[in-house]
């Protein structure tokens, strides 16, 4: 999604999320070493990222945007309808 199609709030949320994830990447330590950030700071960063994700979902729902952010191939057909298939997982002993 381009920055021009985002609202001001969506742009702010996106930039804050990017900044937090960059801080997390930049301060990552090797296993066994003490992390430079305090435990409370790490917890607060996780909570902030969670709140940002929740608000992004709310805004997408209000705007009628799809929440499916999974990658797909360009030539992959768009799935509009889905089919529910029920499986009977009984073993030979259950029959």
DSSP result, 23-54: HHHHT---TTSPPSS-HHHHHHHHHHHHHHHH
What confidence category does residue 84 fall into, taking pLDDT thresholds of 50, 70 and 90? low
The domains of the chain are located at 1-95
When pLDDT is cut at 50, 70 and 90, the band that residue 63 belongs to is confident
**93 vs 47, which has greater pLDDT?**
47
Q: Residue 60, class by beta-carbon neighbours within 10 Å (0-12 exposed, 13-18 middle, 19+ buried)?
A: middle
**pLDDT given for residue 92 in this prediction:** 62
Instruction: List pLDDT tens digits, range 6-48.
Output: 789 999 999 999 999 999 999 999 999 999 999 999 999 999 9
């Amino acid at each position: 999604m381009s920055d021009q199609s985002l609202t001001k709030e969506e742009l702010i949320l996106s930039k804050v999320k990017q900044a937090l994830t960059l801080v997390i990447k930049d301060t990552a330590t090797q296993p066994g070493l003490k992390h430079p950030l305090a435990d409370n700071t790490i917890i607060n960063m996780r909570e902030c990222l969670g709140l940002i994700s929740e608000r992004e979902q709310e805004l997408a729902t209000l705007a009628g945007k799809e929440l499916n952010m999974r990658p797909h191939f360009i030539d992959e057909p768009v799935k509009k309808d889905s089919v529910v298939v029920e499986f009977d997982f009984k073993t030979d002993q259950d029959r």
